[in-house]
Structures are given as C-alpha cells and as structure tokens.
C-alpha cells in the first residue's frame, strides 16, 4: 500500500473547501482544516462563533483520514446533486 502524505491530505481538504465555496486562506466560518495531535489527524470545520468542530471522530492515520475525506466529499456531492466523479 502506498504511503499517504500530508500534501495529499491538504490537497483533499483544498478540494473539499472548493466544493463548499469556502476560502481556506481567510479562515472563515465553514472552512475545513486539518488538525494533528496524538500522532494522528482529524478533519475540522471552523464555526461561525469561533472555534473548531470535529467532522471526523478521533485522530486517525493519514490513510484513514484521506479515505474519510473522499467519502465525505462524495456524500456532499450527492447531497448537492452533483456527479460523483473525483
């Protein structure tokens, strides 16, 4: 199995932010970000009143989190009525 890099995680989060129309540079509410702790990674979303909300539970390996981001993105696309392509 190929090693998953932080670059790949950041790219997946960038695509996710583009999908929802969030500006990751401005760190505005609704923007998805990565958080690392305990040797693992977590997908979080910036909240309107400040702070972050965990989208995924716990801290996971990069590979697990990348798979979860792809699944999350597919669910968002389907909910928005968009094709399920990458």
Number of domains in the chain: 1
Looking at the domain assignment, is residue 32 inside a domain?
yes
SS (H, E, C) 22-48: CCCCCCCCCCEEEEEECCEEEEEEECC
User: Sorting pLDDT into bands at 50, 70 and 90, what band is 37?
Assistant: very high
Enclosing domain of residue 64: 6-73
Q: What is the pLDDT of residue 84?
A: 67
Looking at the domain assignment, is residue 26 inside a domain?
yes
Looking at the domain assignment, is residue 78 inside a domain?
no
User: Sorting pLDDT into bands at 50, 70 and 90, what band is 1?
Assistant: low
Q: Phi first, then psi: what are they for 64, rounded to 5°?
A: -60, -45
Looking at the domain assignment, is residue 85 inside a domain?
no
């Amino acid at each position: 199995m190929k090693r998953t890099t932080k670059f790949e995680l950041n790219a997946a989060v960038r695509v996710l932010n583009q999908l929802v129309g969030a500006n990751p540079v401005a760190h505005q509410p609704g923007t998805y970000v990565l958080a690392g702790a305990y040797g693992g990674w977590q997908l979080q979303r910036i909240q309107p009143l400040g702070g972050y909300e965990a989208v995924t539970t716990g801290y996971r390996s990069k590979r697990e989190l990348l798979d979860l981001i792809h699944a999350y993105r597919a669910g968002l696309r389907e909910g928005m009525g968009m094709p399920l392509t990458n």
